[in-house]
Amino acid sequence: MGALERRIRGVLLAFGGVLAAGTLGYMVLEGWPVLDSVYMTVITIGSVGYEEVHPLSANGRIFTIGLIVAGLGVMGYGLSTVTAFLVEGELTDALRKRRMERKIATLKDHVILVGGGETGKHIVEEFSKTATPFVLIERDAARVVSLERLGSVLYMLGDATDSAVLEQARIGEARGLITTIPSDKDNLFVILCARELNPTLRIISRLTDEQSRSKFIRAGADVVVSENLIGGLRMASE
């Protein structure tokens, strides 16, 4: 949960607390029924200025003053939260995220790229040059920010080992998936999930331990690329 979300939650909890305290206070001090107590609390917090539901006792008036002060405090905190939402660019980010989600929801015959590390970065560059439709799934928001400098990148912040995330990336409509996570274990799990969700999907996976190649193939990978093997052969040929 982000800082802004925590503040919004705090405002709602504070308002609920003041509303509950006000209602209970009028019920105890004035002996009013619940509906009248709630109504009086709301018009007091909102500083609406309507007449009192019933005449107030001295204790009731003192309580009302405290309730007004508490209500103004909550409203002030809420206003500052809304201001922060606008000024700090949270609204812009939220709208941008929503537009991206709508674009992802229309993807078809695309490639799902899992991992935005060094290997993923080169793939993003190539896909951007060739106008290949793709969506990136990355856990690290900082990596996504770095990749966005390469151009417009559709992305999802999440864990590709979660089937729900793959489904949000429209794996059922995708033509291919490339997983570049450094961990063979995670890549293997992504392959298993992806193959289950889309039996016809072309899956290409990064491999670190050459001894795991057969496991990747059995799990459903169509192509397994060992960077260490390819790099070693390339250097030996120079």
The per-residue DSSP string of 115-142 comes to --SHHHHHHHHHHHHHT--EEEEES-HH
Cα–Cα–Cα angle for 87, 90, 96, rounded to 5 degrees:
125
* Confidence at residue 75, expressed as pLDDT on a 0 to 100 scale: 86
* Confidence at residue 206, expressed as pLDDT on a 0 to 100 scale: 93
**pLDDT for residue 135 is more than 80:** yes
Q: In Å, how far are 7, 180, 211 from 233, measured between CA atoms? A: 55, 20, 17
User: Where along the chain do its domains lie?
Assistant: 3-87, 98-237
Mean pLDDT over residues 60-73, rounded?
A: 89
Residue with the two structure tokens 């900082």: 142
Mean pLDDT over residues 12-19, rounded?
A: 89
**pLDDT for residue 215 is more than 90:** yes
Mean pLDDT over residues 81-91, rounded?
A: 69
* Residues 3-87, CATH architecture: Orthogonal Bundle (1.10)
| CA–centroid distance for 49 within its chain | 41
* Confidence at residue 60, expressed as pLDDT on a 0 to 100 scale: 87
Query: Per mean pLDDT, which range of 93-102, 133-142, 187-196, 225-234 is the poorest?
Result: 225-234
Percent helix, strand, coil in the chain, to 5, is 65, 10, 25
Measuring CA to CA, which residue among 213, 215, 127, 229 is closest to residue 176?
Answer: 127
* Confidence at residue 169, expressed as pLDDT on a 0 to 100 scale: 95
Q: 98-237 belongs to which homologous superfamily?
A: NAD(P)-binding Rossmann-like Domain (3.40.50.720)
* Confidence at residue 15, expressed as pLDDT on a 0 to 100 scale: 87
Helices (H) and strands (E) in the chain, counts: 10, 6
Confidence of residue 88 (pLDDT cuts 50, 70, 90): low
Confidence of residue 233 (pLDDT cuts 50, 70, 90): low
Q: pLDDT (tens digit, 9 = 90+) per residue, 97-106? A: 888 889 999 9
Query: Per mean pLDDT, which range of 70-74, 88-92, 218-222 is the poorest?
Result: 88-92
Give all strands of the β-sheet with 176-179 in edge-to-edge order: 155-157, 134-138, 111-114, 176-179, 202-207, 223-226
Confidence of residue 171 (pLDDT cuts 50, 70, 90): very high
**What is the signed CA dihedral for 32, 36, 41, 43, rounded to 10 degrees?**
-140
**pLDDT for residue 48 is more than 90:** no
Mean pLDDT over residues 215-234, rounded?
A: 83
**What span, in angstroms and rounded, lies between the C-alpha atoms of 115 and 117?**
6
**What is the signed CA dihedral for 69, 73, 75, 77, rounded to 10 degrees?**
180
* Confidence at residue 52, expressed as pLDDT on a 0 to 100 scale: 73
Instruction: For 190, list phi and psi in degrees, rounded to 5.
Output: -60, -40
